A and B are shown apart, each in its own frame.
Chain A
Amino acid sequence: MIEYRQVSKSYNKGAIKAVSDLTLTVPPGEIFGFLGPNGAGKTTTLKMTVGLLRPDAGTIQVDGRDITREPLACKAVTSYVPDTPAVYDRLTGLEYLNFIGDVYGVARQDRLERIDKWLQIFDLASAVGNSIQSYSQGMKQKIVLIAALLPAPRVLILDEPMVGLDARAAHHMKEMMREHCDRGGTLFFSTHIMEVAERLCDRIGIIHKGRLIACGTMEELRALDRREQTLENIFLELTDR
């Protein structure tokens, strides 16, 4: 579970309000999609959730623990995939996975099973012995995803996870997201792809200029404006105000 209580964050000594008074709960077993125009505050929210940024005000709890007060306990149950797969390109894929396994303390047998499973699913087994430097952008995205899945986290935070993935990998990705939440995990992700959000998410939040302007299931969002039936139209209508 992730809980945001009156979270605010600004840059340049308050000149730019990135996130304003965000209050939101993402319960276990839910896929929560976060939509918003560029610069709306999506990435800032996700980064605060994993400890990359510190909120100016408010609290964020991950699995009942405060990310500012108990960062290690929160990080131990969370995995994060950033919007650009900046990863140690001088390591081999397997060395990177081992690094993640070592710092999360994944048992050897679990490590073997999960690495084997995800390498097969994401079709990366033949490249895992090579330096990440030799990977394409999509392959880098896949190795970051596999590393995020390796500790079997209870909370998954994904920033634009579909970017760079081919159609097959994107399909497997969506299946993985559903399975993760069916097992009781929490998934919070940002996307620009309306179709993905519409079909995959249990609930959707729309953030605009740092404020959460709409939040609910697809039906609840449709009810906001009876003329608009697709998520894309609802999004355009809401963010145009």
Chain B
Amino acid sequence: MSRLSVLVRTALRVNFGWSLLTSGQLLRHKRDWWLVPLILLGVVGLVPTMIYYIKLIKFLYDSLVLVGQTAAILTMGVLLGQFLILVFGLYYIIAAFYFSRDLALLIPLPLTPTQVMLSKFTVILVNEYLTIAPLVLPILIVYGLLSRKGLVYWMGAVLVYLLLPVIPLAIGGLLVFGMMRVINLSRKKDALIIIGSLILIAAAIGFQFWFGQRATGNEVDPNALVRFLSDPNGLVQRVGASFPPSIWATKALAYGLGASGLANTALFSMVSLVLFLGLLIASKKLFYEGLIGLSETSTAKRILSREQIERGVSSGRRPVRAIFLRELRLMNRTPIFLLNGVLAVVLIPALFLIMAKAGSQPEGLGRLLSLVQSGNPTVAILAAALFMAVCGGLNGTASSTYSREGAQFWISKVIPVSPTDQAKGKFLHSYAVVVLGLAASTAVLAFVFQMKASLLLAALVLAAPAGVVMTAVGMMIDLARPLLTWINPQKAIKQNLNVLLAFFADLGMIFGLFLLTRILRRLGLAGVAQIAALTFILLVMAGLSFSLLLRFAEKRLPQIE
């Protein structure tokens, strides 16, 4: 067996075998049975979401049949997958290529940089297949079934799905190689990694919008509209303009063995191959250049005077504050944690800002929202609260709070701080991140969507306790089964199954509230009464979940070995 295949197999086993089997051994112990309701809550959230998603795909397909442009739905799927991989894959690449702890073991081994890079790349690739599956596979399957496609389509779909992450990951990899090579020369490496990653992500998003706008031209030009409607691929071209590989993939699937199908299959495969080879060649030269010495802190040694030490020494017994400060410092100073946790909450609002600057969809959404605001303020408040809760609450900070401690977890076990005080400190930190997300989303709603202050305030009153529930539930899930044996910090937060479980549980809660709202409306309650009832319920849920968290911490923390 070649060295490369041994390396790749080991990397896959470490990342998927052990972690998913050992940390994924749900319900193995009796004490895990309390997770059943949470999993059910997750299923309650996931199943209707998938059903609505499939219904939406079918609705879009039926609408596109009328203009004979059903293939555009494939473009949407491929584009969605590739866009997510390009933006979020950057995090994965930086974490896996440069921050895995096993790199210190791999570098001294007789392996080439390309072999090490390939093993990491394979792990990311497999991860991406799993990540985009719930979004892209339903589109490929629904299209195939509704169009009554034959074997050629399904074979093409497998090929397209397998190649789908290659182009964005290769582009991301090349960008990251360049960035890390430069950063490794500098002194403030951690800060530059964070700034550089943000610039790369903003550039990736901005470029796609710019490309899309430039290619599609003026929206209201009647001639362009006629051309766009009469061309069977008009919509495909328009949707895929921001990332042409999605157009090639669409045509490869839609035209199968026809000339256009074969040509586009060849084009899509060749570009994937060329970019992948480019990554291999670049890794030979750039990978270790950016990696070796990255953990060195070349900043000037800061020698503290006796007076500075005296000033820096705190006093008294303040366990909750100490835990809060520890969480804040460790999260903000670890680039991977900061990017995936804290900055994730401002990413969605930032996307809306970029789109607004590019003059894209939000204007339309803004017009819609202003109509809703004047016509049905209750709906506007609920929509705004949902947006705030999603931006603030759907991040991995709370659901990785114990896992992030990793090998340092022994400290939390031996210090004389009660599990409840530790949970309070951690809760304060996780909720501070939620508050950041609430602030960012409120700013977007106020400045981009011009939402009225009174409606914003009402939405905040709903979203703030929802954030408490989401934080407490996330912390409880992580406390139930903390993942402490990670070697790559990405595994503690982004690839942590607890984060996914918490995400499902949050979706379940949102779905439950959605059903509740419908019931309140059917009861004929006035808008204000609906909001008041929801606020009351959320406040009760927040109080209950927080108190449950403290009780669970008291019971569970001593059990973790």
0/1 string, B242-261, CB within 8 A of A gives 1: 00000000000000000000
* Across-interface contacts of A134 in B (CB, < 8 A): 296-297, 301
* Across-interface contacts of A25 in B (CB, < 8 A): none
* Across-interface contacts of A76 in B (CB, < 8 A): 416
* Across-interface contacts of B418 in A (CB, < 8 A): 72
Q: B295: which of A86, A105, A133 is its contact (CB, 8 Å)?
A: A133
A98 with B334: in contact, given A54-B558, A90-B329, A130-B301 (CB under 8 Å)?
Answer: no
**Distance, CA A94 to CA B312, complexed state (A):** 7
Q: B326: which of A88, A101, A131 is its contact (CB, 8 Å)?
A: A88
Residue in chain B with minimal CB distance to A108: B315
Q: A51: which of B323, B326, B334, B413 is its contact (CB, 8 Å)?
A: B413
**Distance, CA A97 to CA B559, complexed state (A):** 27
Beta-carbon contact of A98 and B313 below 8 Å: yes
A112 at the interface (CB under 8 A from B): yes
Per the CB 8 Å criterion, the residue count for chain B at the interface is: 41
Centre residue among B303, B316, B408, B415 by max chain A CB count within 10 A: B415
Interface hits, B479-493 → A, CB 8 Å: none
Beta-carbon contact of B415 and A100 below 8 Å: yes
Beta-carbon contact of A88 and B330 below 8 Å: yes
A95 with B329: in contact, given A103-B317, A126-B301 (CB under 8 Å)?
Answer: yes
Beta-carbon contact of B314 and A101 below 8 Å: yes
A80 at the interface (CB under 8 A from B): yes
B407 at the interface (CB under 8 A from A): yes
* Across-interface contacts of A90 in B (CB, < 8 A): 329-330, 333-334
A104 at the interface (CB under 8 A from B): yes
0/1 string, B310-334, CB within 8 A of A gives 1: 1011111111011101100110011
* Across-interface contacts of B407 in A (CB, < 8 A): 84, 86
Beta-carbon contact of A88 and B411 below 8 Å: yes
Q: A102: which of B295, B316, B559 is its contact (CB, 8 Å)?
A: B316
* Across-interface contacts of A130 in B (CB, < 8 A): 297, 301-302
Residue in chain A with minimal CB distance to B315: A108
Q: B321: which of A53, A84, A102 is its contact (CB, 8 Å)?
A: A102
Beta-carbon contact of A54 and B314 below 8 Å: no
Residue in chain A with minimal CB distance to B308: A129
* Across-interface contacts of B301 in A (CB, < 8 A): 126-127, 130, 134
Beta-carbon contact of A88 and B408 below 8 Å: yes
0/1 string, A103-128, CB within 8 A of B gives 1: 11101100110011001000001111
B130 at the interface (CB under 8 A from A): no
Centre residue among A75, A94, A102, A107 by max chain B CB count within 10 A: A102
Residue in chain B with minimal CB distance to A82: B410
A176 at the interface (CB under 8 A from B): no
* Across-interface contacts of A88 in B (CB, < 8 A): 326, 330, 408, 411
B107 at the interface (CB under 8 A from A): no
* Across-interface contacts of B321 in A (CB, < 8 A): 102
Residue in chain B with minimal CB distance to A147: B411
A72 with B416: in contact, given A88-B326, A90-B329, A107-B315 (CB under 8 Å)?
Answer: yes
Q: B309: which of A99, A108, A116, A131 is its contact (CB, 8 Å)?
A: A116
* Across-interface contacts of A112 in B (CB, < 8 A): 309-310, 313
* Across-interface contacts of B30 in A (CB, < 8 A): none
Residue in chain B with minimal CB distance to A11: B561
**B434 to nearest A CB, angstroms?**
22
Beta-carbon contact of B416 and A115 below 8 Å: no
* Across-interface contacts of B408 in A (CB, < 8 A): 86-88
Interface hits, A188-222 → B, CB 8 Å: none
Beta-carbon contact of A129 and B304 below 8 Å: yes
**Distance, CA A133 to CA B411, complexed state (A):** 17
A101 with B297: in contact, given A53-B561, A130-B302 (CB under 8 Å)?
Answer: no
A94 with B313: in contact, given A51-B558, A133-B295 (CB under 8 Å)?
Answer: yes
Beta-carbon contact of A94 and B297 below 8 Å: no
Beta-carbon contact of A75 and B414 below 8 Å: yes
**B248 to nearest A CB, angstroms?**
44
Q: A52: which of B303, B318, B414 is its contact (CB, 8 Å)?
A: B414
B306 at the interface (CB under 8 A from A): yes
Beta-carbon contact of A98 and B312 below 8 Å: yes
B158 at the interface (CB under 8 A from A): no
* Across-interface contacts of A105 in B (CB, < 8 A): 316-317
**A193 to nearest B CB, angstroms?**
23
**Distance, CA A103 to CA B412, complexed state (A):** 10
**B366 to nearest A CB, angstroms?**
41
* Across-interface contacts of B415 in A (CB, < 8 A): 75, 100, 103-104
A27 at the interface (CB under 8 A from B): no
A116 with B304: in contact, given A76-B416, A88-B326 (CB under 8 Å)?
Answer: no
Residue in chain A with minimal CB distance to B326: A99
Beta-carbon contact of A103 and B322 below 8 Å: yes
Residue in chain A with minimal CB distance to B335: A90
**A143 to nearest B CB, angstroms?**
12
* Across-interface contacts of A101 in B (CB, < 8 A): 313-315
Beta-carbon contact of A126 and B319 below 8 Å: no
* Across-interface contacts of A103 in B (CB, < 8 A): 317, 319, 322-323, 415-417
* Across-interface contacts of B411 in A (CB, < 8 A): 87-88
* 12 cross-chain CB contacts under 8 A: A51-B413, A54-B559, A90-B329, A90-B330, A97-B313, A102-B322, A104-B317, A107-B315, A112-B309, A128-B304, A129-B302, A134-B296
- By a beta-carbon cutoff of 8 Å, the part of chain B in contact with chain A is 295-297, 301-304, 306, 308-310, 312-319, 321-323, 325-326, 329-330, 333-334, 407-408, 410-411, 413-418, 558-559, 561
Of all A-B residue pairs in the complex, the 4 with the closest CB atoms, nearest first, are A105-B317, A108-B315, A102-B322, A129-B304
